[in-house]
Amino acid sequence: MKLYFLVGLGFAACASGSRDLPRPPDFSPERFLESERANAVETPLVEDAQHEEASAKAPLDPLVEPDLDELPGRVLGNVAGSPITAEDLLLEWNDISSRELWLVAERFVTSRLALAEAQRLQIRLDPVDVERRVESEQRELRAEIVRRGLDIEPEDFIRRELRLEPERYLARLRRATIQQLLAERAVRAGSLSTKSVKARLIVVPEQETMDEVTRALEAGAEFAELAERHSIDDSSKEGGLVPFVVWQEYAPLARLAFRTKVGEVGGPLETADHLFLVKVEEFREPIEGHWSQLREAVERTLEEFPVSDGEFLSWKLGIEQRYPVELEGLVELLGTAR
């Protein structure tokens, strides 16, 4: 599951809690990613032949990135003797598609937040997990080549179809994979560090459907089956299952879930022009500490429940209260309306 998305309905109202924890000093995403690569190669979490083989097969070499502070004035080329800068391209992009530009900026900010939190928690990745995910991404690339009906090698596809240098593209793919794995673990660690419930959810747009669902429940119908049939939330595909609903006092849906007993159904709750029912399956107490205390539970639950859109949004709303996010320079450059 990629964490680069627009979040839909789900549990958007259930923002995760945030404690006054220390921020990492002098955070540098480039240094952190480089240390994470070095950790994956030089200090495996579990020392066995699989790790050694994975590390030897595809070492996680650092990727030299441009200095982001210098990008706005950096000359990228010239036309008829007139220089083209990154600032020029940003302004043009904003004029053509400002929404797309800000979505990319949002993704970038989210990635930095995840890296900062991964550093604070001292998260370390298993090299085998990194290689497994990289290989999965490469399989997706080969599948895309097949879908396009092309009979070429991935390197030729990258060069001819994507117009990119294969070596640099694959290095950035590995870098993005490491960022993705760190982000997933940072999000799940956030969920486990806050009291939460495992629940099922039914979301319907009008009272008539809610009445139908309520009558069916009273007649003995299974909540999961009704969620699959009637709920408009993405969780309907899993019988309404929402593995992590974290506590937040000002989130109506979270308050409903936490005051509903295990095995019982809470609601209907009317919010955001929809009606909600919640069935609670499990309450969880928070796990305190850094990666050494959280790792086992994080890895186990990620195997069972990948990070969902709602869980990610909940984490993001909370994490933005912990770390400063300031984009005044970009706002001023683009002349964005306030």
20-66 residue pLDDT tens: 333 333 444 555 455 555 555 433 333 333 443 443 343 333 333 44
- For residue 186, the tally of other CB atoms under 10 A from its CB is 24
pTM for the model? 0.73
Which domains can be identified in the chain, with CATH numbers?
A: 29-192+323-334 (no CATH), 196-285 (3.10.50.40)
| Measured distance CA(290)–CA(119) in Å, rounded | 10
pLDDT of res. 335: 85
Instruction: Find the DSSP H helices in the chain.
Output: 29-42, 49-57, 86-121, 127-147, 154-160, 166-192, 207-218, 223-230, 252-258, 291-304, 309-319, 328-334
Give the integer Cα–Cα distance in Å for 169 and 184: 22
Cα–Cα distance between 194 and 228 in angstroms, integer? 28
In contact, 210 and 275? CB cutoff 8 Å: yes
Indicate the helix (H) or strand (E) that contains 264. Answer: none
- Residue 153 phi/psi, 5-degree rounding, is -75, 155
Q: Are 202 and 213 in contact (CB under 8 A)?
A: yes
| Residue 72: per-residue pLDDT | 53
What's the pLDDT at 35? 52
**Cα–Cα–Cα angle for 250, 251, 255, rounded to 5 degrees:** 95
Positions in the chain whose pLDDT score sits under 50: 1-28, 32, 41-71
The closest of 249, 250, 268, 253 to 199, measured between CA atoms, is 253
Question: In the prediction, which pLDDT does 226 show?
Answer: 96
Sheet holding 196-204, edge to edge: 241-246, 196-204, 274-284, 265-271
* Separation of CA 165 from chain center: 27
